[in-house]
Copies of this chain bind each other. A is one copy, B any other.
Amino acid sequence: MLLGEVVGTLVATRKEATMDGFKFLVVKSLDVDGKVAAGSVVAVDAVGAGVGEVVLYATGSAARQTEATRDRPCDAVIMAIVDTWEVDGKEVYKKG
C-alpha cells in the first residue's frame, strides 16, 4: 500500500455504470518521511476519508477487494485512514 494525502475531490457524471455512486478522491502520494512524492492518483474511497486526511491506498487488482469495488473498473482504493506512523523510532505523522 502507498501513503497519500487526500487533497481534493473529482466529479464525473458520465462513467461506466458500475462506478455510479462512488466518491472519487484526488490523492497525492507521500513518501515514508511524510513528504509529497512523485505520483498522484484518483482513488475510490472505501472508508469515509475526507480532504486533508492521510490515508493508505491499494492499487492494481487489490483495489477491487473491497465490498464496494468488487468487479468494477477501479484500480486505486483508499482502504485505511492513517492514525500515526514512525520511522527509525521517531513519529513521522500523527492524526491531528
Contacts and interface: CB of A to CB of B under 8 A. Distances in A.
A80 B14 CA distance: 6
A10 to B, nearest CB: 4
A11 B62 contact: no
Interface residues of A, number: 58
Q: What's the number of copies of this chain in the assembled complex?
A: 5
Contacts of A63: 62, 73, 75
B24 A32 contact: no
Interface in A47-86: 47-48, 51, 56, 58-67, 71-77, 79-86
Interface of A: 1-3, 7-16, 18-19, 24, 26, 28, 31-32, 40-43, 46-48, 51, 56, 58-67, 71-77, 79-89, 92
Given A7-B87, A15-B81, 20 more contacts: A2-B41, A2-B42, A3-B42, A8-B87, A10-B82, A10-B84, A10-B85, A16-B66, A16-B67, A16-B80, A18-B66, A19-B80, A26-B87, A32-B40, A46-B73, A51-B89, A61-B75, A62-B72, A63-B75, A66-B73
